[in-house]
Structure 1
């Protein structure tokens, strides 16, 4: 539904509603405090700066985090909002809609995404962003980034479409078009050799070059502005060459703070009055880096970041199969969380799955009654026998894997909802990029705003709900690759630092 109100959201409110004030040029990478030699000739307009649609819920909250903690208030709606709900956040600088496209096929995308993109177009933000995972999770048949781009371009337009995936803040790097990510051991891996992403159960990465990977999903030509061109001051010329060659999508390398800000400059200065961009939260990191470098927004200090305070009790659910999440679960159990395993293979049968959820919910409530924090999980990493067991069950049942994934996510959401309501909890965590979307939709929450940083890409959020049971809920949506080993404990204490 397209909002039935003035297309431009006005700014100038206090508290949660408002905008950042322009600051003076600030040092970048040790440079002296002087304007950049290519300082922006384009200021920040009043009102809405950015609209976005995320292909899963955890990634969507990461965009909100980057913008909000840079002093640019941003709201994330769990679905396309009604005009009345949208009006409650008048004055915000970023507006986003979370979705579940990452776990869906092409037919689903064709049915659902055009309406979302029409709504983004109606908001009239200078930058419209289709947000994807920082590990570029996608395939031609499921979560196709290419198909999403094909649906968005006719509605959101633009001469060219930036693709920004690298984000050093979360250990994602793109060099000469190839994407690298940190592994659970702290090493940096090309994605097709990454210990987790190369073996992802739904979208395994067998190609690290984003141009080739994306080219398998769309006929839109994909170009590149590489990091050498950026560091030599030749990025503008490189961009013009790629556009002249017919590139519709242009990937921008990001390997460090310098190339991050340069990517932001290209998007903001060379994208035109309206630009449709694709990428991870690296796009927002890049824009914020350029806006700061150009003196358009002030530098954000650590002291400005809020802490939520510690929760007496917390409930967590995880449908993630990543090694990173497995390490976080292990650390939480060592710290006294009560681990409760659910058999996800039972999700091929609706009745059996509901029985399994009832058992797990009762165990979670018993743990809370005994003074322990429940952590319900379906697997401990990609090598857990439960992963193979579920795959076998799906193949034997004939039930589409997408339907089973939906059932698992929604079921974990109902479980969390039951535990939170019964025990009167005010804080929870949902782990797993695909899981979080389906789980969050069952909680009766219609929007999230950033509350406190816990880990880059996975903040603690304030829930907005018309349901009194969840109106004050604090919740974190954690992607499989996000966070340090103590993530669940950090979410309980309400901050990254002890």
Structure 2
């Protein structure tokens, strides 16, 4: 390459991340945007033409559904991500997991993801960040704890009232080292939060010891408090400058790195603008919706059930989860017609699979089939009734719902609170381009999150 072309080459992103479901991927997108980083979440691995179209990025995300895949399917899903990372010259490859680390050897295996992605980086070990305090997720001495709902009681993850009974990947082990060992990550060393609480230098020393006595295949960083993320980011970013690094964990990985990432010299003049951009994102309110809002609540979580019970501004359409999971075409059409009729009257519609007083159906349902049917239902409604704003509740439902749309990326709009982000859809279809969508996992969001989607929030 000639010197002239080198000087005009567009700098690549510093971080590439893959979200193992769409809700988590949008949470990470929000973390990057609120830090003032230029970030975009692609709905599939972008090609060179698409990357040229969007312009320079600091953080490039790819939304996927690996947490619902078998190890073989995960390999096929993640290999293009590894190839893209190598081609872009990024420093950190982040495999974004759910903050509760729910996964299993046969489905959504974090170990399987590491085996595919580690070949794309230079560091022979993997960094694992174990907590996300802003969502009530804490890792202490290798053991994971989580709140039950926003601001709820904290439980050890294997005693959590929802995650210990997850219908697909129940968490029956709180020690993440043992949990990941079942997935093939046998040599995971834990660095306690007490090291990070003493600052970057102490944490760097603890990391060197973990890597060399005896050598660790992966290092799990405790996170007991959000203040410890600064030290973790400092240490990981310094390591990544020397050799590219694979980092695994929730959005706290990007939260940590964003504190340490220095702007390249060629962008120094944009520092003030970036600071203003971060401030604006951090304090951006949510405007009231323009026109009727549709929310698809495919989550069977008790947290989502409480949010449904608190939604007063919607016509409720109760979905027959059993028939939808069985791919009953007549039921799908009937539900789509009912939703469309209410929207045509200008009413907000909440279509949900579980009434507030119903008991969880859990393993009685094929959760993946239900999520796919939810995506079909959403696509069917939007094909005839374009909307300005929608919401989807449930990790798998969000993944399949957005995949069913003719869209190629999401950008961040505003924080909806407790792990829920409002995003803008980018599509070549004019009916979808610019539509706002809130994706939230079953455990995420304040109790009034659906009302905020309609009426806005300061």
Q: Work out which of the residue numbers 308, 314, 326 in structure 1 matches 2:305.
A: 326
The structural deviation recorded for 1:142 is 0.5
Query: What CA distance in whole angstroms lies between the structure 2 residues aligned with 1:308 and 1:419?
Result: 24
Structure 1 unaligned blocks of 5 or more: 1-5, 12-45, 395-400
Equivalent residue runs for 1:257-406 within 5 Å: 257-271=226-240, 272-291=242-261, 298=275, 300-301=278-279, 305-311=283-289, 312-332=291-311, 335-350=312-327, 352=328, 354-380=329-355, 384-385=358-359, 387-388=361-362, 391-392=363-364, 401=366, 405=368
1:64 Cα shift? 0.8
For the 8 Å contact 1:321–1:379, the answer to whether it is kept is: yes
Q: Distance in 2 between matches of 1:85 and 1:493?
A: 35
Q: What is the rounded CA distance, in whole Å, between the counterparts of 1:324 and 1:317 in structure 2?
A: 15
Per the TM alignment, residue 262 of structure 1 is displaced from its structure 2 partner at its CA by 1.2
Classify the secondary structure of the residue corresponding to 1:492. helix
Distance 1:50 1:327, change over 3 A: same
The answer on whether the counterparts of 1:447 and 1:465 sit within 8 Å (CA) in structure 2 is yes
State the shift of 1:173 in Å.
1.2
Aligned residue runs from structure 1 range 107-256, under 5 A = 107-184=72-149, 186-233=152-199, 234-244=202-212, 245-256=214-225
Deviations 1:388-408 (A, max 9, x none): 5xx34x6xxxxxx4xx61x32
RMSD value over aligned CA atoms?
2.5
Could you say which residue in structure 2 is the equivalent of 1:423?
A: 385
CA distance in 2 between counterparts of 1:304 and 1:147 reads: 35
Check the 8 A contact 2:287/2:455 in 1, yes or no: yes
Q: How much has 1:417 moved relative to structure 2?
A: 2.6
* Deviation, structure 1 residue 8: 12
Deviations 1:452-479 (A, max 9, x none): 1112422111100011110121111111
Q: Aligned equivalents of 1:60 and 1:445: distance in 2?
A: 15
- Structure 2 gaps of 5+ residues are 263-267
Q: CA deviation at 1:492?
A: 2.2
Question: Residue 321 of structure 1: SS of its match in structure 2?
Answer: coil
Q: 1:275 to 1:380 in 2, by over 3 A?
A: farther
Instruction: Write out per-residue CA displacement over residues 200-220 of structure 1, whole angstroms, 9 at most, x where no aligned residue.
Output: 111111111111111110145
C-alpha separation in 1, matches of 2:233 and 2:281:
25
SS at match of 2:41: strand
Report the TM-score, using the length of structure 2 for normalisation: 0.89
How many residues get paired?
438
Which one has the bigger helix percentage? 2
Q: CA separation of 1:91/1:60 partners in 2, compared to 1, >3 Å: closer, same or farther? A: same
Q: Please give the alpha-carbon distance, in whole angstroms, between the structure 2 residues aligned to 1:169 and 1:7.
A: 41
Report if the CA contact (8 A) 2:313-2:451 is conserved: no
The answer to whether the Cα contact below 8 Å between 2:234 and 2:260 also exists between their aligned partners in 1 is yes
Q: What is the alpha-carbon distance in structure 1 between the residues aligned to residue 451 and residue 51 of structure 2? A: 33
Change (3 A) 1:387 1:303: closer
Residues in 1 aligned to 2:437 and 2:408: alpha-carbon distance in whole angstroms: 13
* Counterpart for residue 68 of structure 1: 33
Within-5 A mapping of 1:75-86: 75-86=40-51
Distance in 2 between residues matched to 1:342 and 1:164, nearest whole Å: 38
The CA deviation string for residues 414-469 of structure 1, in whole angstroms up to 9 with x for no partner, is: 32233334333111011111111111111111100001111242211110001111
TM-score if structure 1 supplies the norm length? 0.82
Contact 1:76 1:96 in 2 (8 A): yes
